[in-house]
Protein backbone atom coordinates (compact mmCIF):
# COMPACT_ATOMS: atom_id res chain seq x y z
CA UNK A 1 0.00 0.00 0.00
CA UNK A 2 1.60 3.27 -1.11
CA UNK A 3 1.61 6.56 0.74
CA UNK A 4 -0.01 5.67 4.05
CA UNK A 5 -2.11 3.34 6.12
CA UNK A 6 -5.79 2.81 5.56
CA UNK A 7 -8.32 2.48 8.36
CA UNK A 8 -9.25 4.41 11.44
CA UNK A 9 -5.81 5.26 12.76
CA UNK A 10 -5.86 8.75 14.25
CA UNK A 11 -9.66 8.82 14.35
CA UNK A 12 -10.10 8.35 10.63
CA UNK A 13 -7.08 10.21 9.27
CA UNK A 14 -4.39 8.10 7.61
CA UNK A 15 -0.84 8.77 8.68
CA UNK A 16 1.77 9.27 5.98
CA UNK A 17 5.18 7.64 5.96
CA UNK A 18 6.92 11.00 6.24
CA UNK A 19 5.04 11.74 9.48
CA UNK A 20 7.12 9.35 11.56
CA UNK A 21 8.88 11.11 14.42
CA UNK A 22 10.62 7.90 15.48
CA UNK A 23 11.65 5.44 12.78
CA UNK A 24 13.23 2.71 14.91
CA UNK A 25 11.74 2.00 18.32
CA UNK A 26 11.79 -0.63 21.03
CA UNK A 27 8.30 -1.33 22.36
CA UNK A 28 8.03 -2.77 25.87
CA UNK A 29 4.85 -4.75 26.42
CA UNK A 30 3.99 -6.25 29.77
CA UNK A 31 2.62 -9.76 29.87
CA UNK A 32 -0.46 -8.30 31.59
CA UNK A 33 -1.12 -6.17 28.49
CA UNK A 34 -1.84 -9.39 26.58
CA UNK A 35 -4.45 -10.64 29.07
CA UNK A 36 -7.24 -8.23 28.19
CA UNK A 37 -10.10 -8.75 30.61
CA UNK A 38 -8.87 -12.22 31.56
CA UNK A 39 -7.08 -12.91 34.85
CA UNK A 40 -4.46 -15.19 33.26
CA UNK A 41 -2.96 -16.10 29.92
CA UNK A 42 -3.27 -14.51 26.49
CA UNK A 43 -6.37 -12.87 25.05
CA UNK A 44 -6.66 -13.77 21.33
CA UNK A 45 -8.59 -10.54 20.74
CA UNK A 46 -5.94 -8.35 22.37
CA UNK A 47 -2.98 -9.98 20.67
CA UNK A 48 -4.80 -9.75 17.30
CA UNK A 49 -5.49 -6.03 17.81
CA UNK A 50 -1.91 -5.23 18.85
CA UNK A 51 -0.59 -7.22 15.88
CA UNK A 52 -2.79 -5.25 13.47
CA UNK A 53 -1.44 -2.01 14.90
CA UNK A 54 2.12 -3.30 14.50
CA UNK A 55 1.31 -4.22 10.90
CA UNK A 56 0.13 -0.64 10.31
CA UNK A 57 3.30 0.69 11.92
CA UNK A 58 5.49 -1.47 9.66
CA UNK A 59 3.56 -0.22 6.64
CA UNK A 60 4.42 3.30 7.70
CA UNK A 61 8.09 2.35 7.48
CA UNK A 62 8.79 1.94 11.18
CA UNK A 63 11.42 -0.53 12.37
CA UNK A 64 10.14 -2.21 15.52
CA UNK A 65 11.75 -4.29 18.20
CA UNK A 66 9.61 -5.63 21.05
CA UNK A 67 10.40 -6.86 24.54
CA UNK A 68 7.47 -8.69 26.09
CA UNK A 69 7.09 -9.62 29.74
CA UNK A 70 5.69 -12.84 31.16
CA UNK A 71 3.57 -11.69 34.10
CA UNK A 72 0.37 -13.02 32.55
CA UNK A 73 1.83 -16.53 32.93
CA UNK A 74 4.49 -16.47 35.65
CA UNK A 75 6.48 -13.92 37.63
CA UNK A 76 9.85 -14.91 39.01
CA UNK A 77 9.58 -12.51 41.97
CA UNK A 78 6.17 -13.92 42.89
CA UNK A 79 7.54 -17.46 42.69
CA UNK A 80 10.43 -16.65 44.98
CA UNK A 81 8.02 -15.15 47.54
CA UNK A 82 6.27 -18.53 47.62
CA UNK A 83 9.52 -20.25 48.55
CA UNK A 84 11.03 -21.09 45.16
CA UNK A 85 14.70 -20.58 44.48
CA UNK A 86 14.89 -17.08 42.93
CA UNK A 87 17.18 -18.07 40.07
CA UNK A 88 14.98 -21.01 39.12
CA UNK A 89 11.85 -18.87 39.43
CA UNK A 90 13.35 -16.23 37.15
CA UNK A 91 14.21 -18.91 34.58
CA UNK A 92 10.56 -19.98 34.58
CA UNK A 93 9.62 -16.33 34.08
CA UNK A 94 11.98 -16.14 31.09
CA UNK A 95 10.23 -19.13 29.53
CA UNK A 96 6.91 -17.36 30.05
CA UNK A 97 8.19 -14.44 27.97
CA UNK A 98 9.15 -16.88 25.21
CA UNK A 99 5.59 -18.20 25.15
CA UNK A 100 4.22 -14.68 24.79
CA UNK A 101 6.77 -13.83 22.12
CA UNK A 102 5.86 -16.90 20.05
CA UNK A 103 2.15 -16.09 20.34
CA UNK A 104 2.80 -12.53 19.15
CA UNK A 105 4.98 -13.79 16.30
CA UNK A 106 2.24 -16.18 15.20
CA UNK A 107 -0.35 -13.39 15.17
CA UNK A 108 1.96 -11.16 13.11
CA UNK A 109 2.79 -13.90 10.62
CA UNK A 110 -0.91 -14.59 10.13
CA UNK A 111 -1.26 -10.96 9.00
CA UNK A 112 1.60 -11.28 6.54
CA UNK A 113 4.09 -9.40 8.75
CA UNK A 114 7.57 -10.88 8.86
CA UNK A 115 8.54 -11.38 12.50
CA UNK A 116 11.41 -13.09 14.29
CA UNK A 117 11.78 -14.18 17.90
CA UNK A 118 15.29 -13.84 19.32
CA UNK A 119 15.83 -15.42 22.72
CA UNK A 120 18.46 -14.54 25.31
CA UNK A 121 18.49 -18.19 26.40
CA UNK A 122 19.39 -21.01 24.05
CA UNK A 123 16.28 -22.82 22.77
CA UNK A 124 17.29 -23.24 19.14
CA UNK A 125 14.47 -25.60 18.18
CA UNK A 126 11.93 -22.92 19.10
CA UNK A 127 13.44 -19.57 18.11
CA UNK A 128 16.67 -17.86 17.12
CA UNK A 129 19.34 -16.96 19.67
CA UNK A 130 19.85 -13.27 20.36
CA UNK A 131 22.75 -11.95 18.31
CA UNK A 132 22.95 -8.19 17.91
CA UNK A 133 24.06 -8.23 14.27
CA UNK A 134 21.25 -10.63 13.42
CA UNK A 135 18.68 -8.41 15.14
CA UNK A 136 19.91 -5.35 13.25
CA UNK A 137 19.76 -7.22 9.94
CA UNK A 138 16.17 -8.30 10.60
CA UNK A 139 15.17 -4.73 11.43
CA UNK A 140 16.83 -3.37 8.31
CA UNK A 141 14.81 -5.86 6.26
CA UNK A 142 11.57 -4.58 7.76
CA UNK A 143 10.96 -7.50 10.09
CA UNK A 144 9.49 -7.09 13.56
CA UNK A 145 11.99 -8.44 16.07
CA UNK A 146 10.59 -9.85 19.32
CA UNK A 147 13.17 -10.20 22.07
CA UNK A 148 12.36 -13.01 24.50
CA UNK A 149 13.78 -14.25 27.82
CA UNK A 150 14.72 -10.81 29.12
CA UNK A 151 18.47 -10.32 29.41
CA UNK A 152 18.95 -14.06 29.93
CA UNK A 153 20.05 -13.42 33.51
CA UNK A 154 18.12 -13.78 36.78
CA UNK A 155 17.41 -10.75 38.97
CA UNK A 156 16.93 -8.44 35.96
CA UNK A 157 13.46 -7.26 34.92
CA UNK A 158 12.10 -7.10 31.40
CA UNK A 159 12.09 -3.29 31.83
CA UNK A 160 15.88 -3.45 32.09
CA UNK A 161 15.96 -5.85 29.14
CA UNK A 162 13.90 -3.37 27.12
CA UNK A 163 16.29 -0.51 27.83
CA UNK A 164 19.28 -2.73 27.03
CA UNK A 165 17.85 -4.00 23.74
CA UNK A 166 16.77 -0.48 22.77
CA UNK A 167 20.37 0.67 23.09
CA UNK A 168 21.73 -2.38 21.29
CA UNK A 169 19.50 -1.82 18.25
CA UNK A 170 20.13 1.95 18.21
CA UNK A 171 16.46 2.74 18.80
CA UNK A 172 15.37 6.36 18.54
CA UNK A 173 12.94 5.95 21.44
CA UNK A 174 11.92 3.41 24.05
CA UNK A 175 8.14 2.97 24.00
CA UNK A 176 6.34 1.59 27.02
CA UNK A 177 2.76 0.52 26.38
CA UNK A 178 0.73 0.51 29.58
CA UNK A 179 -2.91 0.40 30.68
CA UNK A 180 -3.02 4.18 31.29
CA UNK A 181 -2.19 7.14 29.05
CA UNK A 182 1.07 8.18 30.66
CA UNK A 183 2.80 8.71 33.98
CA UNK A 184 0.88 9.97 37.01
CA UNK A 185 1.96 11.12 40.44
CA UNK A 186 -0.09 8.23 41.86
CA UNK A 187 -2.29 5.42 40.59
CA UNK A 188 -5.07 7.07 38.53
CA UNK A 189 -7.25 3.98 38.87
CA UNK A 190 -7.29 4.42 42.65
CA UNK A 191 -7.10 8.21 42.84
CA UNK A 192 -9.36 10.13 40.39
CA UNK A 193 -7.50 13.39 41.13
CA UNK A 194 -4.09 11.92 40.24
CA UNK A 195 -1.95 14.34 38.22
CA UNK A 196 -0.62 13.30 34.83
CA UNK A 197 2.78 14.49 33.63
CA UNK A 198 3.20 15.43 29.97
CA UNK A 199 6.98 15.59 30.28
CA UNK A 200 9.48 14.43 32.87
CA UNK A 201 13.23 14.24 33.22
CA UNK A 202 15.01 11.03 34.13
CA UNK A 203 16.09 12.65 37.39
CA UNK A 204 12.48 13.53 38.27
CA UNK A 205 11.40 9.94 37.63
CA UNK A 206 14.10 8.63 39.98
CA UNK A 207 13.70 11.31 42.65
CA UNK A 208 9.90 11.00 42.77
CA UNK A 209 10.13 7.21 42.56
CA UNK A 210 7.55 7.24 39.76
CA UNK A 211 6.56 3.87 38.37
CA UNK A 212 7.66 4.41 34.78
CA UNK A 213 10.20 1.61 34.62
CA UNK A 214 12.56 0.26 37.24
CA UNK A 215 15.54 2.40 38.22
CA UNK A 216 18.05 0.26 36.34
CA UNK A 217 16.11 0.75 33.10
CA UNK A 218 15.74 4.50 33.63
CA UNK A 219 19.43 4.81 34.48
CA UNK A 220 20.40 3.03 31.26
CA UNK A 221 18.14 5.33 29.24
CA UNK A 222 19.48 8.41 31.05
CA UNK A 223 23.13 7.48 30.45
CA UNK A 224 22.43 7.12 26.71
CA UNK A 225 19.95 10.05 26.54
CA UNK A 226 17.37 7.65 25.11
CA UNK A 227 13.83 9.15 25.23
CA UNK A 228 11.15 7.06 26.93
CA UNK A 229 7.53 7.45 25.79
CA UNK A 230 4.80 6.05 28.04
CA UNK A 231 1.34 5.65 26.51
CA UNK A 232 -1.78 3.49 26.66
CA UNK A 233 -1.56 0.27 24.67
CA UNK A 234 -5.28 -0.22 25.24
CA UNK A 235 -6.31 2.70 23.01
CA UNK A 236 -6.74 1.62 19.40
CA UNK A 237 -4.21 3.13 16.99
CA UNK A 238 -1.89 4.43 19.70
CA UNK A 239 1.25 2.69 18.43
CA UNK A 240 1.10 4.61 15.15
CA UNK A 241 0.16 7.82 16.94
CA UNK A 242 3.16 7.35 19.23
CA UNK A 243 5.43 6.89 16.23
CA UNK A 244 4.19 10.19 14.83
CA UNK A 245 4.54 11.96 18.19
CA UNK A 246 0.77 12.47 18.42
CA UNK A 247 -0.21 10.03 21.15
CA UNK A 248 -1.56 11.24 24.48
CA UNK A 249 1.50 10.22 26.48
CA UNK A 250 4.32 11.16 28.84
CA UNK A 251 7.76 11.79 27.39
CA UNK A 252 10.82 11.27 29.60
CA UNK A 253 14.02 13.00 28.47
CA UNK A 254 17.13 14.64 29.84
CA UNK A 255 15.52 18.11 30.10
What pLDDT, on the 0 to 100 scale, is given for residue 17? 63
Confidence of residue 65 (pLDDT cuts 50, 70, 90): very high
What pLDDT, on the 0 to 100 scale, is given for residue 39? 84
What pLDDT, on the 0 to 100 scale, is given for residue 76? 78
d(CA 95, CA 235): 28
Over residues 168-207, the pLDDT tens digits come to 999 999 999 998 999 999 999 899 999 999 999 999 999 9
From the options 3.40.50.2000, 3.40.1160.10, 3.30.379.10, 2.40.110.20, give the CATH code of 28-253.
3.40.1160.10
Question: Residue ranges for the binding site for ATP?
Answer: 28-31, 71, 75, 178, 184, 187
What pLDDT, on the 0 to 100 scale, is given for residue 14? 56
Over residues 204-252, the pLDDT tens digits come to 999 999 988 999 999 999 999 999 999 999 999 999 999 999 999 999 9
Over residues 80-94, the pLDDT tens digits come to 788 899 999 999 999
Question: Residue ranges for the binding site?
Answer: 28-31, 70-71, 75, 90, 151-158, 178, 184, 187
d(CA 100, CA 2): 32
Look at residue 8 and tell me whether its pLDDT is greater than 60: no
Query: For the chain, which residues make up each domain, given as ranges?
Result: 28-253
What pLDDT, on the 0 to 100 scale, is given for residue 5? 38
Question: Residue ranges for the binding site for UMP?
Answer: 70, 90, 151-158
* Predicted TM-score of the model (pTM): 0.90
Output phi, psi for 168, to 5 deg: -70, -30
Amino acid sequence: MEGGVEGDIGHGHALEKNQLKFKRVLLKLSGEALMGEHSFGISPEVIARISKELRDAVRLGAEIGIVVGGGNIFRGVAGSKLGMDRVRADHIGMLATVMNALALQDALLSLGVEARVLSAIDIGNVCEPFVRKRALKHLEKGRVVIFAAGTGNPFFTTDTAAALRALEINAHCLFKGTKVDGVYDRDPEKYPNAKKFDRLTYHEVIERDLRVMDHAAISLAMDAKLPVLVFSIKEHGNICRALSGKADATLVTME
